[in-house]
Structure 1
Amino acid sequence: MYKKQKYRQKSVVEKWYPIANLLSAGKIKKIYSQRMGIEAMFKDYKTGAYNLESAKANETRLNNLILLIAISYTISSFQGQKIKNKGVQKYRSRTHEKSRKKRRKSSFSVGLSRIYSAINDDFIWELVANLMILNPHKL
């Protein structure tokens, strides 16, 4: 059973019947969930965090961009998985849906938000230090 995401406060339950030549239902589920992970990755590449679809680049530049995105995606995913393994995801990525217990964010999203927050923290502390230099008498 698969429950689609809500659209206009309505969700639909769909039954999926995957057909495969594997013997075990567990193997089928594992392989299909890996496929869904790849689909999510392509979505992140094209229209998500990297917005590759709107990058108007020639072939060489596009290849270089895809290589950088692959490296960035890998780092973000590892960082997110590390956060999930530590059990601190609930502090890093809060859900906005009151009824939802399980986090919806992927390891990539969790890792990317961690990297963004690290960059912002450094920027903010640098800004505070510069402001303190401007008014040393207020320390």
Structure 2
Amino acid sequence: MIHVTRDLLTVLLDHADERDPLSANLQLSATPAAEFDTQTGLDPETPVLTHFTLADVGGSVNAVFGVDLGTPAGRGRARFLSHPDGALELSKTDDLAAVVLVAVPPYDDDHVAAFDRAGEPVELGIIDAVPPEESVPE
């Protein structure tokens, strides 16, 4: 099972709807369940998808130097894709990751699914919890 916070899923579905008829392609990051301030009912080591990275972040540095600065260290092993054509499955042209969330119109909870890298469906659990607040050290 793959877990995602309600807030992140809402933002992802809204983003896909705003981009339609263009597709969305965002890198996702997870936070271990143990780091949440509230009880999630999950094993403490269970990753919960909590954040996304815009596609263009770090792109110019990567293009010039081949260094991906857009993905925080140890994160980004999941991806969110939208398929405006309505195909709720992975395609051969999709960017893959260990886990891929795919959404189709009308971009609601009933039109999103999770898949593993091989395209096999994975159960998607939606968690009503807020990840811990992060800050940049001064």
Same fold (TM over 0.5): no
Q: Which has the larger helix fraction?
A: 1
Q: Which has the larger strand fraction?
A: 2
TM-score range, shorter chain: under 0.3
Relative to the length of structure 2, the TM-score reads 0.23
Relative to the length of structure 1, the TM-score reads 0.23
